[in-house]
Amino acid sequence: MSGSVVLLHLAGAVALMLFATRLVKTGVERAYGDVLRHRLRATMRNPLMAVLAGCGLSIALQSSTAVTLLVGSFAGAGIVSGMSGQLAVRGAEIGSALVVKLLTFDLSLLVPVCLVAGTVMFMATERRDWRQFGRILIGIGLLILSLEMIGQASEPLRQSTLMPVIVNYFSGDPVTAYLMAALITWLFHSSIAAVLLMVTLAGRGFIPPELGVVLVLGVNLGSSIIAPLLTRNAEPGVRVVPIGNLLMRGMGSLVMLILFLTFKPPVAFLGTSVPDQIVHAHILFNVLILLAGLPLAGLVYRASEKIVALGTKSEPAALDVIELSALNESALDTPSQALANATREVVRVCETVEIMLKRIIELYESADADKIKALAALDDRVDKKHAAIKLYLAKVTKNPLSEDEALRCQELIGACVKLEQVGDIIVRNMLVHVRKKLERGLEFTPEGWLELCAFHASVLANARLAFNVLVSRDAETARQLVLEKDRLRDREKETSASHFLRLRDGTAKSVETSSIHLDTIRDLKQINSLLASMAYPVLEERGLLGGSRLKAG
For the segment 202-213, what is each residue's pLDDT rounded down to a tens digit? 888 889 999 999
Last residue of a domain, one of 254, 279, 308: 308
User: Per-residue pLDDT for 425 more than 90?
Assistant: yes
pLDDT of residue 550: 36
| Residue 333 and residue 304 in one domain | no
115-124, 267-276, 473-482: lowest mean pLDDT where? 473-482
List phi, psi (to 5°) of 389: -65, -45
Last residue of a domain, one of 308, 341, 365: 308
Which contacts of 355-363 are long-range, i.e. CB under 8 A and separated by 24 or more positions?
356/382, 356/422, 356/423, 356/426, 356/427, 357/422, 357/426, 357/456, 357/459, 357/460, 357/463, 357/527, 358/460, 360/426, 360/430, 360/431, 360/434, 361/34, 361/38, 361/452, 361/453, 361/456, 363/431, 363/434
User: Per-residue pLDDT for 552 more than 60?
Assistant: no
| Residue 241 and residue 113 in one domain | yes
| Residue 234 and residue 340 in one domain | no
| Residue 118 and residue 237 in one domain | yes
pLDDT of residue 232: 83
pLDDT of residue 364: 85
Based on its alpha-carbon atoms, the radius of gyration of the chain, rounded to whole angstroms, reads: 27
Q: What is the DSSP string of 421-487?
A: HHHHIIIIIIHHHHHHHHHHT----HHHHHHHHHHHHHHHHHHHHHHHHHHH--HHHHHHHHHHHHH
Q: Is residue 202 part of a domain?
A: yes
Q: Is residue 317 part of a domain?
A: no
- CA dihedral (89, 73, 69, 21) in degrees, to 10, reads 110
| Residue 475 and residue 345 in one domain | yes
Q: Is residue 316 part of a domain?
A: no
| Residue 287 and residue 365 in one domain | no
Q: Is residue 31 part of a domain?
A: yes
Nearest to 146 by CA among 98, 110, 120: 110
Confidence of residue 33 (pLDDT cuts 50, 70, 90): low
Q: What is the pTM of this model?
A: 0.60
Beta strands in 166-253 (DSSP E): none
For the segment 139-156, what is each residue's pLDDT rounded down to a tens digit? 889 988 888 888 788 777
User: Per-residue pLDDT for 314 more than 60?
Assistant: no
Say if residues 213 and 289 touch (Cβ distance below 8 Å): no
473: left (phi over 0), alpha (psi -120 to 50) or beta: left
- The CA distances from residue 351 to 30, 50, 138, 355, in Å, are 19, 32, 32, 6
Q: Is residue 161 part of a domain?
A: yes
User: Per-residue pLDDT for 526 more than 90?
Assistant: yes
| Residue 184 and residue 268 in one domain | yes
User: Per-residue pLDDT for 303 more than 80?
Assistant: yes
Q: What is the DSSP string of 273-322?
A: SHHHHHHHHHHHHHHHHHHHHHHHHHHHHHHHHHHHHHHSPPPPSPPPP-
Q: Output DSSP code: residue 246.
A: I
Confidence of residue 215 (pLDDT cuts 50, 70, 90): very high
Rounded CA separation 449/523 (Å): 16
Of all residues in the chain, the percent with pLDDT exceeding 70 is: 88
User: Per-residue pLDDT for 489 more than 70?
Assistant: yes
pLDDT of residue 221: 94
| Residue 217 and residue 128 in one domain | yes
pLDDT of residue 78: 59
| Residue 231 and residue 347 in one domain | no
Q: Is residue 320 part of a domain?
A: no
Confidence of residue 320 (pLDDT cuts 50, 70, 90): very low
Q: Is residue 550 part of a domain?
A: no
Say if residues 520 and 430 touch (Cβ distance below 8 Å): yes
For the segment 104-150, what is each residue's pLDDT rounded down to a tens digit? 888 888 899 999 999 999 888 877 778 888 988 998 899 888 888 88
332 by DSSP, 3-state: which?
coil
pLDDT of residue 548: 46
User: Per-residue pLDDT for 547 more than 60?
Assistant: no
Say if residues 192 and 99 touch (Cβ distance below 8 Å): yes
User: Per-residue pLDDT for 35 more than 70?
Assistant: no
| CATH number of the domain enclosing 464 | 1.20.58.220
Q: Domain count of the chain?
A: 2
Mean pLDDT, rounded, for 534-553:
68
| Residue 478 and residue 362 in one domain | yes
User: Per-residue pLDDT for 36 more than 50?
Assistant: yes
User: Per-residue pLDDT for 553 more than 70?
Assistant: no
For the segment 218-265, what is each residue's pLDDT rounded down to a tens digit? 999 999 998 898 888 877 877 888 898 899 999 999 999 999 999 999
282-296, 307-321, 348-362: lowest mean pLDDT where? 307-321
pLDDT of residue 318: 40
| Residue 354 and residue 421 in one domain | yes
Range of the domain at 262: 3-308
pLDDT of residue 319: 37
Last residue of a domain, one of 250, 276, 308: 308
| Residue 132 and residue 23 in one domain | yes
Nearest to 338 by CA among 401, 283, 428: 401
pLDDT of residue 350: 92
Which segment, 1-5, 77-81, 155-159, 347-351, is predicted with the most confidence on average? Answer: 347-351
For the segment 63-93, what is each residue's pLDDT rounded down to a tens digit? 787 778 777 766 765 556 667 777 888 888 8
Say if residues 304 and 240 touch (Cβ distance below 8 Å): yes
- Burial group, residue 196, by CB count within 10 angstroms (0-12, 13-18, 19+): buried
Say if residues 216 and 262 touch (Cβ distance below 8 Å): no
pLDDT of residue 354: 92
Q: Is residue 319 part of a domain?
A: no
Rounded CA separation 489/514 (Å): 19
